[in-house]
Amino acid sequence: MPTKKERDEYLRGLNPIDDLMFRKMAEHKEFCEEILRVILDDYKLVVTDNMQQFDIKNLQGRSVVLDAKCITGDGRYINIEVQKANDDNHLKRVRYNASVLTANVTETGKQFEFVPDICIIFISAFDLFKGNLPLYHVVKTVKETGQVIEDGLTEIYVNAAVDDGSKLAKLMKVFTKNDIYDEADFPVTSEIKARFKKDEGGTVKMDATLQKWMQESEEIGEKRGERRGRKEGVKEGKIKGANEEKLRIAKDMIASGLEFGFIARLTGLSEEAVAALQG
């Protein structure tokens, strides 16, 4: 278990691109509204409802935790995801999140015509498509004719790796750089970020959230380990019982350059397991 000094040092290094801080900031509807207006280039956009760390399940019961779910004034459902580590097939992750969210928000018995529109926004520290652009829109087209298909799903990929001088690139600096704020263009984002990083009340809330996450993560891991352990042996069960959320946090911490020993103490994983994630 990390000491308070170690936790404080970790929390001071967090930014909105980090899962933990983003979810705290996403509790504020005004923050979601401000960043969505920039990303979607729609400065009249209104967020009517928002929920952070939204837990939904597919038909087989597999759970996925969305970083933030927003509903706009025109009835769109928007899932915002942040990702620091380039360690998985993120295109399939977006596809999976979109399908589970669609099923979750669609009323039973409704005709497909009334399936709600879904927008998935994937914000990353890396340029997923390596096109040297900060923003990508993925659209579905008919291969033979080039016809664009409008099926109600929008995929948008934003990254902080490319700085083209745009307003979006400026926002990504606030998202990723430790001491950068932009009160002129992003007053809400800058104020909330500063509150969690500098104000005593904000740091206390962040620490409480971190400790709560650590406790819940350990409890989930133990329960899964117990279930698997009955079939596979206690040791193997505990290893496989580590929940996906714990692994994701660990990977983000590796991407931040934190020491394996600290990551192990924070997540409850062994140093060997943490080292294995680097590959």
What is the distance between the alpha carbons of residues 241 and 256, in angstroms, rounded to a whole number?
25
Q: Are 250 and 277 in contact (CB under 8 A)?
A: yes
Q: Indicate the residue type of 83.
A: Q
The whole-number pLDDT of residue 159 equals: 98
Among 27, 8, 21, 34, smallest CA distance to 189 is for: 34
Maximal CA-CA distance, the chain? 61
The whole-number pLDDT of residue 235 equals: 43
CA dist 59 → 64, 99, 168 (Å): 12, 11, 37
| Cβ-count burial 133-142 (b if 16+ within 10 Å, e if not) | ebbeeeeeee
What is the distance between the alpha carbons of residues 256 and 222, in angstroms, rounded to a whole number?
27
Number of helical (H) and strand (E) elements in the chain, helices listed first: 11, 8
The whole-number pLDDT of residue 223 equals: 53
DSSP alpha helix (H) spans, the chain: 4-12, 19-25, 29-39, 90-105, 167-176, 187-198, 200-232, 234-241, 244-255, 260-267, 271-278
Which region, left, alpha or beta, applies to residue 119 given φ > 0 means left and ψ of -120 to 50 means alpha?
beta
The whole-number pLDDT of residue 221 equals: 53
Please list the pLDDT of the chain residue by residue as tens digits (279 residues).
Answer: 677 887 888 888 899 999 888 988 999 999 999 999 999 999 999 999 998 766 665 545 555 678 899 999 999 999 999 999 898 899 999 999 999 999 888 888 888 999 999 999 999 999 999 999 999 999 999 999 999 999 999 999 999 999 999 999 999 999 999 989 999 999 999 999 999 888 878 778 878 877 777 776 666 555 545 454 444 544 444 444 446 677 878 888 888 788 888 888 888 788 888 888 876
The whole-number pLDDT of residue 6 equals: 79
The whole-number pLDDT of residue 241 equals: 42
CA dist 42 → 72, 126, 216 (Å): 11, 24, 38
Q: Are 246 and 217 in contact (CB under 8 A)?
A: yes
Residue 154 half-sphere exposure, CB side, CA atoms within 13 Å? 15
The whole-number pLDDT of residue 19 equals: 87
Q: Which two tokens stand for residue 66?
A: 């969305």
DSSP letter at 160 equals S
The whole-number pLDDT of residue 267 equals: 80
The whole-number pLDDT of residue 201 equals: 80
DSSP letter at 128 equals T
Q: 3-state DSSP call for residue 78?
A: strand
